[in-house]
Amino acid sequence: MSRVVVVGGGPAGMAAARAAGAAGVEVLLVDSGARLGGQYHRQDSRAGTERFTLPSGVEYLGDSVVWALEPVAGGHRVHVRTGPADGPGRTGRSVDTPALVLATGAYDRALPFPGWDLPGVFTAGAAQALAKGQGVRVGERVLLAGTGPFLLPVARSLLDVGARVVGVLEAGEPVTGWLARPGGLLAGTGKLGELAGHAALLARHRVPYRRRTAVVEAHGTDRVEAVTAARLNPDWTVVPGSSRRVEVDAVCVGFGFTPQLELAVAARCALAGGFVAVDVAQATSVRGVFAAGELTGIGGAELSAAEGTIAGASAARLLGARPAPPVRALRKARTGRRFAAALDAAHPVRDGWRSWLREDTLVCRCEEVPYGELCAAAREREAYGGRSLKLVTRAGLGPCQGRICGRAVAELTGIQDAAATFARRPIAAPLRLGELAEDPGPQPEAL
């Protein structure tokens, strides 16, 4: 039977599955998490109850990764493995679908700095996932640094699990940024209320919030013992004489987000500005493939859910259903995008971060490629194309395949198209050779 396949169980994916289900079509929702909700609604994996419900007609497949996507006549074949990522005995399944919704979200963007490879340095998202998902605090004295409003809810999650948050350092000057776009600001009144709530909580816990300040170095031998925090100029170079040492046992950094593009790139969806390009119906450039949520632009959970609703309805329509136009979601998506654009403009990453690096600062941690070697190899061998750069420097060739370092490598060496260079991965998620070799069994589940 024909059905919609949704990849991703966060706000966008859940909304897409619900909308398609409500339109009366069968849905398969595939998510890598053990529970629904994604990063935003990260559920405590120890809790006994499931917070989210899905309509009947939606089959939910948790703990499942889509490791490959290939075109077939009339749609796409989705190759799935189900089971704990590190354990043996995952099972395989291949499903053909004429209507695929990609809602794979985004992950933290990290910038390299001296000492960022020490244990005790986390991305803000990883720290939050540990706190919300498992009740684990990454440290006793924790400092948050980066840019963007996401640092606030992370601070809150850390406080919730009993960590002492010694400060939130915002590298940018968000007030100035917001004032430049009053229209976008007003578009996000709901979101601002949420942020104000976080800010009030931080104030109650006397957590200092510092603007134009960043962690520019982490110190320690076996793990982080302290960091250097410094005031930043508007271009993010360090204000001379402003550095001070802060004793911490963990530091969490987040400089916005990078969309999880592998599957969209595998499906050959057109990109714009590093995100998947979609039309008003959330359709990508590829027929039968829709995208929703952070994959199409960073705008938060509410916007993601609105886009998911639209995408789910569009996918159902492709299968012959006749859902009513999702007017509310369309309106929400319009205002949400204005807010997202304002947010993006208010929290740019400035080039001055490069001045934090030293010759021996690792840029690619998997392959241990230091900044000096990266630039020297690219320059001396004139390897400025993405593919040759990777093979000459080894940057981005390790287990993370450039997910963490790709954007930094691209910026440091002048590669224009970071998304195409680092997101083109025919095998979109790691799997064992034995799993790949497995007999696929009878024909894939039909279109």
Partner 1 sequence: MVSPDIVVVGAGVIGAACAEALSASGLKVTVLDRAGIAGGTTAAGEGNVLVSDKAPGPELELARASRRRWPDLLAALREELGPTLAEAEWEAKGGLVVATTEEAAAPLAHFAAAQRAVGISADELTPEAAAQLEPHLTRGVTAAVHYPEDAQLQPVLAATTLLAAVRARGGEVRAGTAARGVTRDAAGRVSGVRTDDGTLACRAVVNACGPWAGSFAARAGAPITVLPRRGMILVTGPLPAGTVRRKVYDADYVGAVASSDADLQTSTVVESTRAGTVLIGSSRERVGFDETVRVDVLRELARKAVALFPVLAGVPVMRAYGGFRPYAPDHLPVIGADPRLPGLWHATGHEGAGIGLAAATGRLLADLYTGAVPEVDPEPFRVDRPAVIEGERAA
**Chain residues in the site for partner 1 (CB under 8 A):** 68, 70-71, 77, 79, 88, 94, 266, 367, 380-389, 391-392, 394, 397-399, 401, 425-427, 430-434, 436-438, 440
- Closer Cβ to partner 1, 87 or 241, answer by number: 87
- Closer Cβ to partner 1, 281 or 447, answer by number: 447
- Closer Cβ to partner 1, 309 or 393, answer by number: 393
Pair of tokens at residue 142: 């924790």
- Closer Cβ to partner 1, 13 or 402, answer by number: 402
**Beta strands at 58-61 and 64-72: parallel, antiparallel or unpaired:** unpaired
How near is the Cβ of 306 to partner 1 at its closest, in Å?
33
Q: Can you tell me the distance from the alpha carbon of 382 to that of 397, in angstroms, rounded to the nearest whole number?
A: 19
How near is the Cβ of 100 to partner 1 at its closest, in Å?
16
Q: Can you tell me the distance from the alpha carbon of 136 to that of 129, in angstroms, rounded to the nearest whole number?
A: 9
What separation in angstroms does the CA of 197 have from each of 156, 181, 187?
10, 22, 18
Q: What is the 3-state secondary structure (H, E, C) of 382-408?
A: CCCCHHHHHHHHCCCCCCCCCCCCHHH
Strand order in the sheet with 226-231: 213-219, 226-231, 244-247
- Closer Cβ to partner 1, 325 or 426, answer by number: 426
Q: How far is CA 210 from the centre of its chain?
A: 25
- Supply the Cα-derived Rg of the chain in whole angstroms: 22
Q: Can you tell me the distance from the alpha carbon of 312 to that of 81, in angstroms, rounded to the nearest whole number?
A: 23
- Closer Cβ to partner 1, 351 or 382, answer by number: 382
Angle between helix 300-318 and 11-22 (nearest 10): 30
- Closer Cβ to partner 1, 156 or 390, answer by number: 390
How near is the Cβ of 288 to partner 1 at its closest, in Å?
15
Pair of tokens at residue 164: 């002492």
- Closer Cβ to partner 1, 209 or 384, answer by number: 384
Q: Which residues pair with 100 in a beta bridge?
A: 5, 289
How near is the Cβ of 33 to partner 1 at its closest, in Å?
20
How near is the Cβ of 37 to partner 1 at its closest, in Å?
27
Angle between helix 151-160 and 124-134 (nearest 10): 40
How near is the Cβ of 383 to partner 1 at its closest, in Å?
6
How near is the Cβ of 307 to partner 1 at its closest, in Å?
28
How near is the Cβ of 382 to partner 1 at its closest, in Å?
6
Angle between helix 371-380 and 406-413 (nearest 10): 50
